Amino acid sequence: MEMHVEEVRPQTCPELAAELASAGLPVDDLILPGRRFFRFWDGHAEPMGFIGVEALDADAALLRSLVVVPGQRGRGLARPMTGWLLNQLRGEGVTEIWVLTTTIAEFVARMGFDRVERADAPAVLRATRQFSDLCPASAVLLHKTL
């Protein structure tokens, strides 16, 4: 499977917000500082999915968005997309990554993330809009050391 990756900005890639919104993921804070988004596509410029990350500090990040576009689902793309992001972040010096989710807890657990009680979240994570405002209290918190 051929997969290409490029960093995209919400202001110049309207399909990013559209795909996130259609998957029920938050879009209200896409243009705030510290957020990065990547588009994955096949060799024919067909979109496969998007993944987004928010820097928490120099060493930690929050996986804030993961979506495989509807026509590409069921092909096992989420794992290589997430693996690519984790390798990218590791190469940039990030040593830990967090996920706050209502939908992909089992998936990221299979990728080595451990569940953490929300009360035990570090202050830098609790200060994010994802944690304090955008994700419901029922969202599961997971963590992985890179």
Q: Domains in the chain, please, with CATH?
A: 4-145 (3.40.630.30)
Residue 72 has a pLDDT of 94
Between strands 96-101 and 114-116, the pairing is unpaired
CA distance 118 to 140: 8
Tell the burial category of 138 from Cβ atoms under 10 Å away from its Cβ (0-12, 13-18, 19+): exposed
Residue 2's nearest CA partner among 89, 77, 111, 107 is 77
Tens digits of per-residue pLDDT, 81-118? 999 999 999 999 999 999 999 999 999 999 999 999 99
> pTM for this one?
0.94
Q: Which residues of the chain have pLDDT under 50?
A: none
In sequence order, the 6+-apart residues with CB closer than 8 A to the CB of 121 are: 98, 131, 141
